[in-house]
Structure 1
Amino acid sequence: MTKIMIIGAYGKTAQLLTERLLSETQNDLILFLRKAERLNKYTNNKRVQLIDGDVLDTEQLYTAMADVDLVYSNLGGINLAEQIQSVLDAMKNANKQRFVYISSLGAHHEVPGNFGKWNEQAIAAYLPGFRAAAKLVAESGLQYTEVRPAWLTNTDEVDYETTQGSEPFKGTEVSRKSVADFVFKVVTDPKTHLNESVGLNKPNTDGDKPSFM
């Protein structure tokens, strides 16, 4: 049995992942988030520990992950690098090695063509944080998997393909359910995709911008 810590557990993709882990595995979960009462539906679940926390409180993170086997980050925001640095520091202090985290398309200047130019402008405020976070993780010495989704949809489907960090990004969009599926496969088989940066997109969604924009 594995114990998995999900940081930023109220995020939509994180909630999809949580539901699959509870229904399809016997793994125990630590759900770390602000305003933990938002996930009170898990209060009586013996496999779930809810922690109301601040990701920038490294000591609190360190204490919370004392007996986990894998850490998954669903964090985002302009200050992502600061948040990720706190997670990395806590993991090192707690002697944890396996880290899976959500990043973004464009984190490695890998999105080509007109869509790449559009994406640079559309998330210009966030990309510096994603890029700095990716550098921090790559240099951390941890066993990591960086997940770079295309623009996210709530479509009820699992339909995606992958690209490696050294390859041009494909497509423009992907469902959150697809992202959760990929993360589920990694966290339940943590020897896969070690020290890889993986792009996720729905096939045949190439274009100058996502279809819903």
Structure 2
Amino acid sequence: MKKIMIVGAHGAIARLVTERLLAETQVELVLYLRQAERLNQYATNSRVTLVDGDVNDTEKLRQAMTGVDMIYSNLGGVDLGEQTKQLLLAMQQTGQTRLVFMSALGAHHEVTGKFGDWNEQAIHYFLPGFRSAAEQLVAAGVTYTEVRPAWLTDQPEISYETTTLADGFKGTEVSRASVADFIVKVIEDPSTYQKESIGLNKPNTDGDQPSWF
């Protein structure tokens, strides 16, 4: 049975992915997060291992990922570059190679025009971490799928299109359910989107900024 590790497992998209994987597949899950009691609803699930840990605790992280088949990182924050360094170090030490990595639009300076300018201002505090992480993924030699969603909504819909870096970025928004759907599909078929950075957006949402601003 395939075993998947989710790092940063309390994130909103990570929780959607967890629910879908438990409902639709037979995979086992290692859920790694700080304050693991926040996911105590899974404590008695025989397919789930809860690990209370910080990604900067390399020893605990390494122990938790030993023997898994694939890792999905839902890490974030202004120190994402340092967190990514520790994640990749643990992967190297345990021989892990397949990684789905949650990033952000703008991580590669790929969002142009007025929306690109707006996005730079809106998340300027976090972009250095995403950009550092993006560089590290390539340099580490792991088989990554970097996910760059547009601005996130909680709409209960699955409606999205994908773009590569060569395509440029499209749209301004996408639902968390859509991002979770993409991640679940990659987990189900790890041979897809290998060493690719994929943008996700809801079709026909182009504009100077997301619709609710």
Where on the TM-score scale, by shorter chain, does this alignment land: which range? over 0.9
Question: For the residues of structure 1 that align with 2:14 and 2:25, how far apart are their CA atoms?
Answer: 16
- CA offsets per residue over residues 46-96 of structure 1, 9 Å max, x none? 000000000111111111001100010001111001001100000000001
Q: Which ranges of 4 or more aligned residues in structure 1 deviate by more than 3 Å?
A: none
Question: For the residues of structure 1 that align with 2:166 and 2:37, how far apart are their CA atoms?
Answer: 41
AA matched with 2:6? I
1:180-199 equivalences under 5 Å are 180-199=180-199
- Matched residue, 2:127: 127
Segments of 5+ residues of structure 1 without an aligned counterpart are none
**Residue 166 (1) aligns with residue 166 (2):** yes
**Residue 32 (1) aligns with residue 32 (2):** yes
Question: For the residues of structure 2 that align with 1:100 and 1:68, how far apart are their CA atoms?
Answer: 13
Shift of 1:140: 0.4
- Matched residue, 1:43: 43
- Matched residue, 1:69: 69
- CA offsets per residue over residues 19-48 of structure 1, 9 Å max, x none? 000000000000000100000000110000
Question: For the residues of structure 2 that align with 1:125 and 1:208, how far apart are their CA atoms?
Answer: 20
- CA offsets per residue over residues 79-120 of structure 1, 9 Å max, x none? 001001100000000001101110000001111110000000
| Identity across matched positions, percent | 61
- Matched residue, 2:142: 142
- Matched residue, 2:153: 153
Query: What SS class does the counterpart of residue 16 from structure 1 fall into?
Result: helix
Aligned length: 213
Segments of 5+ residues of structure 2 without an aligned counterpart are none
AA matched with 2:50? L
AA matched with 1:190? P
- Matched residue, 1:206: 206
Question: For the residues of structure 2 that align with 1:192 and 1:104, how far apart are their CA atoms?
Answer: 20
Shift of 1:166: 2.1
